[in-house]
Amino acid sequence: MSKLFSKFLGFFSSRTLVGVDKVGNRYFTRVEEIDGIMKVKRWVIFKGEEDPTSIPVEWICWLNGQRTKAPTPEEMIELDARRELVKQNIAILKKKEEEERKSGVRKSKSIGGSPDLRSFIQQFPDASFAPKKDEVSDGKDVAKKEERSTEPTGSGKTFKPGAWQPPSP
């Protein structure tokens, strides 16, 4: 009885069935006049349980108004085929990665990896972290150099402020 009543009301309502997705959800539009402006309302009637995650992306875009035209059945078939291809490519890549892990052979990747410092050392051979034998001296020379410094040096407990000099006119 309720189906008969809903069909009877369907004749008088201005809703239009736009399409159906592969799950069976039905998509509708209705043109309403709000404050003298004609506005298109879009909605979905779920088949079975209301699950918003069951709506395909192309239909979500249409519901939000990002698409003016509803997706066609041909377009939905094409997008499903593309999704399946992506899933197959993912499975192939996962299989390759698993084989590389098992064999222990990994390719070094230059993108996102740590930098190769060997080239830096070759470009600047004088820049090394260890003090050279010539540079080792007694503490008197170091104290004289620190007194002459106008810039602050060190941090934490080793911090020593620089000497203040008035600005030159």
Residue 95 lies in a domain: yes
Asked whether residue 111 is assigned to any structural domain, the reply reads no
Is 54 in the same domain as 76? no
Note whether 93 and 66 are same-domain residues.
Answer: no
CA 63 to chain centre: 24
Domain end point (choices 70, 85, 120): 70
Looking at the structure, tell me whether residues 60 and 17 fall in a common domain: yes
User: Is 125 part of a structural domain of the chain?
Assistant: no
Q: Considering the domain boundaries, does residue 64 fall inside one?
A: yes
Residue 67's closest CA among 19, 126, 122? 19
Final residue belonging to a domain, choices 87, 102, 117: 102
Measure the CA–CA gap between 131 and 140, rounded to whole angstroms.
17
Residue with tokens 């050279």: 132
65 in the same domain as 76: no
State the total domains in the chain: 2
Q: Which residue positions in the chain have pLDDT lower than 70?
A: 1-13, 105-117, 119-149
Q: Is 71 exposed, middle or buried (0-12, 13-18, 19+ CB in 10 A)?
A: buried
- CA angle 142/143/148 to nearest 5° reads 100
Centre a 10 Å sphere on the Cβ of residue 111 and count the other Cβ atoms it contains: 4
Helix, strand, or coil here: 116? coil
Domain boundaries, position 33: 9-70
Q: Which of 140, 141, 164 is nearest to 152 (CA)?
A: 164
pLDDT of residue 58: 94
Length of the chain counted residue by residue = 169
Residues 66 and 16 in one domain: yes
Asked if the structure places residue 39 within a domain, the reply is yes
In this prediction, residue 86 carries a pLDDT of 96
The answer to whether residue 155 sits within a structural domain is no
**Do both 13 and 51 map to the same domain?**
yes
Within a domain: 130: no
Torsion of CA 75, 80, 85, 88, to 10 degrees: 180
Question: CA-based Rg of the chain, rounded to a whole angstrom?
Answer: 36
63 and 13 part of one domain = yes
* pLDDT value of position 146: 46
Residue 37 located in a structural domain:
yes
If asked whether residues 31 and 45 sit together in one domain, one would say yes
